[in-house]
Structure 1
């Protein structure tokens, strides 16, 4: 058999060296140190009778560190971790790790002195997350009363903790904190806000919660009387909404409820629960608020007769005057936006006492009759003539200005 035939036989191929898998197992690595370094056995074709078998030390093939890891892996144990020298966990080191967002253990600081230093250090840095982390650590490891005393003299930390309790909805802890600090009024308000926020459209539940809050918290001497009154008025509103039993009115404002009554129950007499006047009395809605709601509701419904009845009156000489709690300039601006008639606008402008202001407002809203009348009263022919030229020829206002200029009874000053 020639050389080519020998290497092409299947048996020879099976014995040929394979380079596809050159990764040795742990057992194979260990076995290397226990096998001859030259030849596998005496009958090997690579052996020679003139060379003695020599064993290589395992340390020449694998480093001691790797060998240790192999042996540990074979035993099934966890590899040991090389100990590293760690810096001492001082207050400064802990604060640095907190600010940088690194893992740190606050519980190594056991003394009250180190805990105070942690808190004061976080406050000095001004990092909100660090401050809150330290405060929560103090809450876990110290008496709450002591923590509250520490916070009372550190407003920044206190405010961060209050915000945290609010955001987390921990109303009981927040109430305890503020009450212990002598801030009962704030504690009551926070509870009120929490109940309104969490009860949603559950009117019955909200009424019960607020009634209990009024009795137990808003009755405290430290709570402002005006705040107690506002909560009591709100309970009355909720009771009215429960009586009406309209889903769209639940948890709406008194003015929204008044607008509903003006729209749907305008002619109900006072004393009736649906009467606008009854809602005003129960909720102590001011006359200014009442006038504003009535104006907007009926103007949008195009019921100008109701608006004029409400805002204009006849004096004892039969002259029409304006009666409204809305400031006149505010009233004029809103009437213009709602596209009120020029007659109503003129009536309102004529109420202005100052001739200069009256003229300014009449020109602003193009109430021509008032402008012409004002120039005539001022006996200013030149001003009236100039104004006439700005009007459309042969319009009603143009003819009024022309006739006024021809009025012989007026003694013009120019």
Structure 2
């Protein structure tokens, strides 16, 4: 009981702390912040002294509580919403969005809702020249605007349009690409993309034939269609029909040139009336003489059948001289024969067909056809040049002896 009497005394109550309130008032915080000064005892800090009498001895509140925390306390006590007092973020501008796009930072384009803002985004990306930014903005416009409106914007901005066309093509979105090009008045181009996609995806031969036949009827037989493209599609359909008739699964979907190479290898000696004859194939599918010569040259030369190559490209004239007969330009033919390691005799026959002495001499030097060089210098009556050339040849070689005998030829009236 004595203990209870002690705690009930007024003096004890005055000295005791109160735990009734969890939050201290501003005055209580200030009172706690009082600091003893010289001559004042520890106990006197908590004595019952008026706040107004100790202002001069009070420690600044900022040394006990940070200014930010104090502001929040005062805001809470004032009854105002602290969230409304927070500083507002600056509004997202077109320039800020474009900067984030070009730097690869995350950003939301959906804050730009007006047509003006969206158009500025597209034009800004085009002005910067960043393809990824341009495509990102275009895809955003496709998501948030009517497609017709977007297509109108793109039609006056070719760079943005090309980026979007390339994106649709790479992603295999051929239907959307065809719709876009058709709306822009480019139906033939849309049809070509559909043709390429059909050939690329293929499927069964019958399914591909049906798809291409429908595409040809609906798009490539209309007025204004490019006739070269229409012929190309018609020829390809004709080739597929021939492949279906031949029925060789390992050669399915091969090009007509690949079929020609196969026929030259496997059916070279078959007559023109046979379906697999190279000549029949050329006639049926309008293979040009140049294409035919090039395929035959490469197929037989690689197989080492030089007798076929020489019989095809060299002829005897009425004087018994060997001449070259080919639709391949002579310099191209020479370069390819050299790559395929043709004989020097065949190369010499080709070089001798060159009409101009300077060109003939240049090519003979290039391919080291010594006999032609010696003969041409003799025709030019250039003894000094022939003497110098003889010194580059191996002594006592066939070419060296030819050059020496030519220099001794008394019938030649040398100019030097």
What's the TM-score, normalizing by structure 1? 0.72
Structure 1 pair 170–372 and aligned structure 2 pair: CA distance change class (3 A) = closer
User: CA-to-partner distance for each residue in 1:300-341, whole Å, 9 max, x for gaps?
Assistant: 111111011001111112211111112222222222222222
1:352 alignment partner in structure 2? 354
Q: How many residues align?
A: 356
Partner of 2:197: 194
Partner of 2:166: 163
Query: Which of the residues 277, 280, 291 maps onto 1:278?
Result: 280
- Cα distance change, pair 399–209 in 1 and its aligned pair in 2 (3 A): same
Q: CA deviation at 1:350?
A: 1.6
* Aligned position for 1:7: none
Q: What is residue 366 of structure 2 aligned with on the other side?
A: 364
Give the 3-state SS of the residue equivalent to 2:23 in structure 1. helix
Matches of 1:105 and 1:360 in 2, distance apart? Answer: 65
Aligned residue in 1 for 2:53: none
- How far does residue 378 in structure 1 lie from its aligned partner after superposition? 3.3
CA 1:387–1:168: 2 relative to 1, 3 Å: closer
Partner of 1:269: 271
CA separation of 1:138/1:374 partners in 2, compared to 1, >3 Å: closer, same or farther? closer
- Give unmatched runs, 5+ long, in structure 2: 30-68, 74-80
SS of the residue corresponding to residue 58 of structure 1 reads coil
Cα offsets for 1:83-129 (capped at 9, x unmatched): 653545676676667667445362772x5555545544554555555
Where 1:59 maps in the other structure, the secondary structure is coil
* Whole-angstrom CA distance in 2 between matches of 1:350 and 1:88: 80
Cα deviation for residue 171 of structure 1 reads 1.4
Aligned partners of 2:129, 2:388: CA distance in 1, in Å? Answer: 68
For each residue in 1:34-81, what CA deviation from the matched residue of structure 2 results, as whole angstroms up to 9, or x when unmatched?
Answer: xxxxxxxx999xx978755754121149x9999xxxxxxxxxxxxx99
Corresponding position of 2:184: 181
Q: Do 1:262 and 1:297's aligned partners in 2 also have CA atoms closer than 8 Å?
A: yes
- Extract unaligned runs of 5+ from structure 1: 1-41, 67-79
Alignment of 1:12-411 (within 5 A): 51=12, 55-56=18-19, 57-60=21-24, 82=83, 85-88=88-91, 101-104=105-108, 106=110, 109=113, 112=115, 115-117=118-120, 119-120=122-123, 122-124=125-127, 126-199=129-202, 202-411=204-413
Alignment partners' CA distance in 2, 1:146 and 1:97: 26
Per the normalisation by structure 2, the TM-score is: 0.72
Using a 3 Å threshold, how does the CA distance of structure 1 residues 407 and 180 change in structure 2: closer, same or farther?
Answer: same
User: In 2, Cα distance between the equivalents of 1:96 and 1:81?
Assistant: 32
Task: Give distance in 1, aligned partners of 2:131 and 2:118.
Answer: 17
Q: 1:136-165, CA deviations, whole angstroms, 9 ceiling, x for partnerless residues?
A: 444445443333223322333323332332
Q: Compared with structure 1, are the counterparts of its residues 409 and 228 closer, same or farther at alpha carbon in structure 2 (3 Å cutoff)? A: same
Going from structure 1 to structure 2, the CA distance change for 1:195 and 1:82 (only over 3 Å counts) comes to farther
Q: Distance in 2 between matches of 1:257 and 1:96?
A: 55
* Alpha-carbon contact 2:112-2:118 (below 8 Å) kept: no
Change (3 A) 1:135 1:280: same
